[in-house]
Structure 1
Amino acid sequence: MPIFQRKRFRPASYQNTIAASYRRHLARHPFLLFGLPFITTMVAGSFFLTPATALRYERHDRKMRQLSEEEKMGIKKDGGRKVADAGEEYYRLAAKDLDDWENKRVERFKGEPDGVL
């Protein structure tokens, strides 16, 4: 079985290209030619994406403010049904008197065992 060469075949014209020059210099100075541009790109990207992220949150805040104004006016959604709010439900249940309650057994269907021995 023949043994393959370790070096890749590259045409003679490849030696004069920018890619070949970059590969030669990259082997000598990896941080300068790969690490530094990578870190620079990450830092610059964070600075450029900060305004876009702020815009996203501002739009979300504006939308939520608009919904609260509609709720103040008494507009209901989904064809007249009231939209459930977790905070509102919590306070509604907290206002109920939970000390006065009675344990009632659920009625069973005919033929269903009631679990009483």
Structure 2
Amino acid sequence: MTVFQAKRFRPSGSAASSLGECIGQMYRARLSKHPFLLFGLPFMSVMVAASFVLTPATALRYERHDRKVQQVGEQEAMSLGIKGPDGDSENQIKMNPRRRVLGNEKEEYYRLMAKDLDNWEQKRVQRWKGEPDGRLS
């Protein structure tokens, strides 16, 4: 039976001659002595930097989505006759009459507080033609 030598195997000079391999060997040797400094700190700094870089990109994504939804909403409103090109239409005024607030905020507050909120009656909202009204019958 053959006896193995006690010496470590070291590759020839041509095998570890590239600069990248030399740096890799030095990094692995020092990593066991200083793991946080050589692995943990760079990892955490990359995570923090990525959050700062990705925040504007995410905001831009949501702004584009909101703009797209708002544009589609305006087009649907015009096609349904809810809102005209100038922003108001006769259908909107008939379906949803708006009351303007007259006076100051205190007068409006006291007027609303004077209403009897215990006695009220539930009324169904008139639906558009073809829109389901939620009744099961």
TM-score, structure 2 normalization: 0.48
Q: How many aligned positions are there?
A: 82
One-letter amino acid of the structure 2 residue matched with residue 23 of structure 1: R
Question: Mapping of 1:30-41 within 5 angstroms?
Answer: 30-41=35-46
C-alpha deviation, 1:31, in angstroms: 1.0
CA RMSD of aligned residues (A): 3.5
Partner of 1:58: 63
Q: Distance in 2 between matches of 1:8 and 1:70?
A: 75
Q: Which residue of 2 aligns with 1:108?
A: none
Contiguous gaps of at least 5 residues in structure 2 = 81-127
List per-residue Cα deviations over 1:71-98 (Å, max 9, x = no partner): 11107xxxxxxxxxxxx8xx7323x4x5
Distance 1:64-1:12 versus aligned 2 partners, 3 A rule = same
Residue in structure 2 matching 1:73, options 78, 83, 95: 78
Higher helix residue share: 1
Q: 1:10 to 1:42 in 2, by over 3 A?
A: farther
Partner letter of residue 63 of structure 2?
A: E
| CA 1:25–1:44: 2 relative to 1, 3 Å | same
How far apart are 1:9 and its partner, in Å?
5.2
- Aligned counterparts of 1:49 and 1:12: Cα–Cα separation in 2: 45
**2:112 paired with 1:92:** no
Tell me the alpha carbon deviations over residues 45-100 of structure 1, each in whole angstroms, 9 at most, x when there is no partner. Answer: 0110010010000000000000011011107xxxxxxxxxxxx8xx7323x4x5xx
